[in-house]
Amino acid sequence: MSLNILITAASRRVPLVLAFREGLKSLGIPGAVIATDVNPMSPAAHFCDRAYRVPLSSAPGYLAAITTICDGEQIGLIVPTIDDELPLFGAAVADFAERGVRVAVSPEDTAMLCDDKYATCLHLRKAGVAAAESFLPEQLPANPCIPAFVKPRRGRGSVYAFPARSARELAFFVSYVPDPVVQEYLDGPEFTIDVMCDFSGRPLSIVPRQRVVIRAGVIDRGCTVNDPALIDLALACVSAMTFAGPINVQCRTVNGRPTVFEINPRFSGGIPLTIEAGAHFPRMLIQLALGQQLEPSI
């Protein structure tokens, strides 16, 4: 039994590449970790067994290029890593399955829902999950709550994301930010909750961590925490949507109540902390891809 793994858009995800290599080794599974990226100089390309340059995920031939690599390298598991490609892979799960390839990705409709920050919070609130009150510009009340937070309805990396501390700032940022959503301002500690689900959507592991230092929307320093309220929030999110593989729930705690402001159905940038805490998500994915049944350890 062997397994070759393809990590797409590997970029700077060196710890993730190394974690999958270590996972194979610790399980005694022969296999290779292969990476793709649009840039051959990406750091992760130099830490995997082999690397391939591919077009942007928005290019018409992207999935065809991935399929060619899968056939040539006898890939058994694909791990998509960026938001742009998640709906593509979500829609192609069955096609890859016919080639004997598992894809660690949530369904297409889940990926599309999570890509829309307004729709995500609306869906969660309707399901009874604590999520940030969110408005499109035309839905704002005459006297909106200030401060507020304005960001793109679809976007990542904290690009065009701004606090609005006055009505004047709110009006400016709503006109300045492309396709904006306005959310209530959550003034409290920020957390990411890493969650691993099996391919049927059952949560296997949940690890919350506080985001202590953030640079350009990506965690720079953090600390894992064992907080039942955060774990319960993640379980509520998994009950409200259908996921598969890794996801991360982003929230802030206000007056002791954690509130979601977005969900990313992929590995988070801070996954090394979760692995060090004892929840080896890459090893779990390897076992799932090989057809092994895992019991939840939350």
pLDDT tens digits, 93-142: 999 999 999 999 999 999 999 999 999 999 999 999 999 999 999 999 98
Question: How long, in residues, is the chain?
Answer: 298
- Give the model's pLDDT for residue 219: 63
Q: Give pLDDT tens digits for 180-208.
A: 999 999 999 999 999 999 999 999 999 99
- 216 pLDDT above the threshold of 80: no
The residue whose two tokens read 């996801």 is: 247
Q: What mean pLDDT value characterizes the chain?
A: 95
- Give the model's pLDDT for residue 217: 60
- Give the model's pLDDT for residue 1: 85
More confident: 219 or 16:
16
Tokens of 106: 């949530």
- Give the model's pLDDT for residue 198: 97
Query: Is the bond leading into 80 cis (omega within 30 degrees of zero)?
Result: no
- Give the model's pLDDT for residue 40: 85
Q: Are strands 180-184 and 218-224 parallel, antiparallel or unpaired?
A: unpaired
Structure confidence at residue 281 as a pLDDT band (50, 70, 90): very high
Q: Give pLDDT tens digits for 62-100.
A: 999 999 999 999 999 999 999 999 999 999 999 999 999
Q: Give pLDDT tens digits for 1-42.
A: 899 999 999 999 999 999 999 999 999 999 999 999 999 899
**Residue ranges in the chain assigned as alpha helix (H):** 14-27, 62-73, 86-91, 93-98, 108-115, 117-126, 167-176, 228-240, 271-276, 281-289
Between the CA of residue 139 and those of 117, 163, 220, 282, what are the distances in Å?
15, 18, 35, 42
Structure confidence at residue 218 as a pLDDT band (50, 70, 90): low
Q: Give pLDDT tens digits for 140-163.
A: 998 899 999 999 999 776 789 999
Structure confidence at residue 220 as a pLDDT band (50, 70, 90): confident
